[in-house]
Amino acid sequence: MLKFNPGKTSFGRHETFSLRYGWLTQGFTAVKENPALFSQPEPAMITLGVGRNMVNAIHYWLRATGIVEFDEDGGQPTALGETLLGEAADPYLEDEATLWIIHWLIAANAEGATGFYWFFNCFAPPQFQDQEALRALGEFADHELQMRRAQTTLKSDLSTLLRMYAPVAGRTDDHLDSPLAHLQLVAADAGRGYRSPRLVRPFLPPIALHFALLQRFADDPQQPALPIRTLLYGGDDWAAPGAVFRLNEEGLMNTLRQVMERYPASYELRDTAGVHQLYRRDNMPEPLAALRAHYQGRAA
């Protein structure tokens, strides 16, 4: 997780292909077996069973989620990847918490998935038309990034995002849909565009918010506390868990109470100078340690 930096952004590198079921596990496993696979177009197409553009898309989503790192020598599974998709974790995405965490990893990636970061952290309308969102994304690129992005690139990013999160009515090939559609964070609103409201979301797994908070504190180690308002709305160029998970204030506080009950050694809520803040505690675990404990508990 990195703080938003206008000088380090990227759009449209997914070849217009939304993340699909099986792609992360398939790509993760293939890289473990052959680190150089994605630098070998023909073998990659054969191994993954997809065309060249889909190979590029799988490569992109592996990087955007942070489960594989790539350099000139090839790909290397990360500790995050092993913790999420390793044999002792959830390689087949059977735990709904894994889906929420994958969503967080993408929407918090301001550098590698800038359009997704913008949509979930900066774009607030609960109901919108795709053209309205496209205009807002263009304004963000013009004003915040101080650079002109091709309209086709921005449109590609936005349309890929909407297909990825909004279930397609009448589809029978569910295996092609993105697993993130099941989170119901975006919905097509017949004849009126799309909806992406902030809600209570009582089924948000506490471990997903816990992991997001742990990452937020770990990546900003000098910060002893975070205002609840910042966690809810952002505004400090870090991804905001409340915004990414599309929680309203009641939803954030309800889930946060569950987190504090389940992980009492990690956090403390205090009012400081009239500001409601979440403080880190000395016994706060590392993010990956918390994930490992979750999957170990699930296996038991």
Q: What is the pLDDT of residue 58?
A: 97
Pair 237, 270 in one domain: yes
Over 80: is that where the pLDDT of 176 sits? Answer: no
**Alpha-carbon span 250 to 170, nearest angstrom:** 33
Where in the sequence is the domain holding 174, given as residue range(s)?
100-197
Coil, strand, or helix at residue 71?
strand
What pTM value is reported for the model? 0.95
The mean predicted confidence, pLDDT, of the chain is: 93
CATH number for position 257: 1.10.10
Q: Is residue 10 part of a domain?
A: no
Q: Is residue 253 part of a domain?
A: yes
CA-nearest of 210, 184, 211, 205 to 196 is 184
Pair 119, 192 in one domain: yes
Bridge partners, 247 (sequence order): 199
Pair 254, 283 in one domain: yes
Q: What is the pLDDT of residue 167?
A: 74
Please spell the DSSP secondary structure of 201-252, one letter per residue: -TTS-HHHHHHHHHHHHHTSTT--EEEHHHHHH--SSS--HHHHTTB-HHHH
Q: Is residue 248 part of a domain?
A: yes
**Alpha-carbon span 47 to 43, nearest angstrom:** 6
Pair 83, 125 in one domain: no
pLDDT per position as a tens digit, 246-300: 999 999 999 999 999 999 999 999 987 788 999 999 989 999 999 999 999 887 6
Report the number of distinct structural domains present in the chain: 3
Q: What is the pLDDT of residue 59?
A: 97
Long-range contacts of range 7-10, CB-CB < 8 Å, 24 or more positions apart? 8/111, 9/110, 9/111, 9/114, 9/145, 10/111, 10/112, 10/113, 10/114
Q: What is the pLDDT of residue 174?
A: 46
Coil, strand, or helix at residue 265?
coil
Instruction: Write down which residue in 75, 92, 109 finishes a domain.
Output: 92
Are 196 and 185 contacting, i.e. CB atoms less than 8 angstroms apart?
Answer: yes
